[in-house]
Chain A
Amino acid sequence: MNELATDVSVRAPPVAASAGGIASSRRVATRFALGLALALAPFLVLGGDFFWLNILTYTYLFAGLAIAWNILAGFGGQFSLGHGVFFAVGAYTTADLFIRFGLSPWFGILPGAIVSAIVGPLIFLPTFRLKGSFFAIATLAFNEVALVFANYLESITGGPRGLQVPFRAGLANMIFADARGYAILMFAFMAVALGVSVLLMRSRLGYYLLAVREDEDAARAAGISVVGVKLRATALSAALTAVGGGLFAMYVRAIDPPTLFSLADIGVKFALISLIGGIGTISGPVLGAFLIVPLESWLRALVGGTTPGLHLILLGLVMLLAALFMRRGVAGAIDALVQRWHHRHRTGQ
């Protein structure tokens, strides 16, 4: 039934940002500010409600983390399932430096980001010759190796018991008595990550990344150092993920290996959020986070008490339907709607 055409490589459409040529700086800046204002709106409306505030805080955090993942996986086409490692490096470094040396997390997140930016390219380097699902599986293995070592290296990670960050409220300690402080913090993280992502896609490295994703051989023939591009994207992506991990550690104030290396809640979740929102687009990870994170928490609160697992059955069904009917995620669906509207507009005249 499917004709030969399906065997010919199916190429992803160009990212939304580059559709129709390069957008002017002013237009991009306006869109960026508008997006952030939209993302901030629920905070201004629901900021007083603790239940929603907590959900919103996680939404901002995971939006930022998915943006970071999307840099390597979406723009660069390197479908990593090992980003939990960078997340954990950031979380452990920030928490350790604060607990042991009293170093303010505002500075403590930097070493974690730097370590990740160095270690990430080093451990990913040997796997870059692998393609597609092989790369995914290999990076998944990194996550599992790191989990075993995190349990084993008790002096750094606290072993299976994990680390507890003492509650010492204060701006310098990045610990807030008023939970709204965390929401603003995570929002700022998301804004920075989004800014990096926007700037990246207007930079040389961004175009190199797209070229590598679309056709490695052609990119190499055009004089691009394929491995170099992948390494730089990994460093950037890993550093941002580590910052997110550090912020996570300061928010929950109790971290242990099963949490940090969880596939469903961390490592694979970055991918799920980006996919449902629209992988390889700038807005996709944010849209995905605003869909998945509140939906999950809301379903849990709604039906979690009645039947165990029911909220995850519903979440799974929503994900399945999203996969089947929004192949290019929410961003892709919106894009298609806009295109259709433009088309009708033009033909209507």
Chain B
Amino acid sequence: MDMLLQVLVIGLLLGGIYGLVSIGLNLIFGVIRIVNFAQGELVMLGMYGAYLAYATMGLDPYIATLIVMPALFVLGVIVYRLVLQPLASESSMQIFATFALLLIFQNVVLAITRGEGYSVSSKLAGVTFGIGDIRVTMSRLAILIAVTLTAIALHFFLKRTMIGKSIRAVTQDRQAARLMGINVERTFMITFGIGSALAGLAGALLSPIYTMSPGIGGNFILAAFAVVVLGGLGSVAGAYFGGIIVGLVEALAGFYVDPELKQAIWFLIFLAVLIMRPTGLFGQVGAEEVGFREQA
């Protein structure tokens, strides 16, 4: 029983990580429908941003989010405006372009750092505490707290603000949204910026946990896509609970089935959901019907 509890706690904390890296992608994939291969690289840039703030100004990675998030928002807006918006009518070319961005981001960091692994430390992150036999580090708990707060904040942002409402309108029906006077291009640009900023937040918060390498984004991107589709496109609750479900499944499968097969198991669950309920657990029915052409 104690063992099960421990596995559940591990799964929950892991789910927090998956949820955090997915929440930005969910906005981008769910609203703009771009298969953004470079999303993991945006998380990676967030990590290195936190390192830069730590190395130059001695900032704690948790405080560095205040710099990293706006920086990535600006980067996201620039990337969308210069690269992705011109390709709006060519969805498969957009995939191609995000792959090119992945190559560029990853290798620019590689060229600058020459592949040296970096890590940052935070006084706060090192704290551990235990409930019974279960030990939890602050760095992982902070992520679970952050993803919960982010999900709540994003939910209210989408429900209450004008920008949030226009993002939802564009997700549901681009043409109708345009007829209602919503600037679709600008909404997409802001959405991509927010999605990038959230990737930056994830990167900064993950920086005390991982040793950084330019290719680290690849560890998150597939999990993030799985979470997004599992949870439901454009649904904040979907990314949040989808992340936690994937984390729990991975922890349980790793413990009870075989650690080597844990990833295969959640991918199979992901495929099953995709096939039986393509909308995802929390998504709007019909969202997946929009193909490459129709959305342009």
Contact = CB atoms under 8 A, between A and B. Distances in A.
Interface of A: 1-2, 4, 6-7, 9-12, 77, 79, 126-127, 129-134, 136-138, 140-142, 144-145, 148-149, 151-152, 264, 268, 271-272, 275-276, 279, 307-310, 312-313, 315-317, 319-320, 323-324, 327
A271 B214 CA distance: 24
Nearest 10 pairs of A and B residues by beta carbon: A309-B107, A131-B291, A316-B103, A309-B110, A132-B292, A132-B291, A319-B100, A316-B104, A148-B264, A312-B107
Interface stretch (B16-24, B64-72, B87-95, B131-139): B87-95
B94 to A, nearest CB: 8
A7 B184 CA distance: 10
Given A133-B29, A272-B96, A144 B278 contact: no
A134 B100 CA distance: 20
Contact of A316 (B33, B95, B101, B175): B101
Contacts of A323: 83, 87, 93, 96-97, 100
Contact of A7 (B108, B178, B214): B178
Contact of B35 (A127, A137, A327): A137
Given A130-B274, A148-B267, A1 B185 contact: yes
Contacts of A131: 288-292
A276 B99 CA distance: 12
B263 interface: yes
Contacts of B115: 308
Contact of A130 (B37, B114, B278, B294): B278
Contact of A324 (B86, B88, B295): B86
B104 A141 contact: no
Interface of B: 29, 33-35, 37, 83, 86-93, 95-97, 99-104, 106-108, 110-111, 114-115, 174-175, 178, 184-185, 214, 222, 225-226, 229, 260-261, 263-264, 267-268, 270-271, 274-275, 278, 288-296
A268 B99 contact: yes
Contacts of B264: 145, 148-149, 152
Contact of B88 (A6, A126, A317): A6
A10 B92 CA distance: 13
B100 A316 contact: yes
A2 B108 contact: no
Contacts of A315: 103
A309 B174 contact: no
Contacts of A6: 88-89, 296
Contacts of A11: 293
**Interface SS of chain B:** helix
Given A138-B275, A271-B95, A323-B83, 8 more contacts: A4-B178, A132-B33, A133-B35, A134-B288, A141-B270, A148-B267, A313-B108, A323-B87
22 contacts: A7-B296, A130-B274, A132-B291, A133-B91, A137-B229, A138-B271, A138-B275, A141-B226, A141-B274, A144-B267, A145-B264, A275-B93, A275-B96, A309-B106, A309-B107, A312-B103, A312-B106, A316-B100, A319-B100, A320-B83, A320-B101, A320-B104
Contacts of A136: 35, 95
A317 B104 contact: yes
A116 to B, nearest CB: 19
B193 to A, nearest CB: 18
Nearest to A310: B111
A144 B289 contact: no
B260 A327 contact: no
A126 B268 CA distance: 13
A272 B267 CA distance: 24
Given A4-B178, A10-B293, A309-B107, A134 B91 contact: no
A10 B288 contact: no
Contact of B107 (A141, A149, A313): A313
Most buried by B among A126, A144, A315: A144
A140 B107 contact: no
A278 to B, nearest CB: 11
B81 to A, nearest CB: 12
B222 A309 contact: no
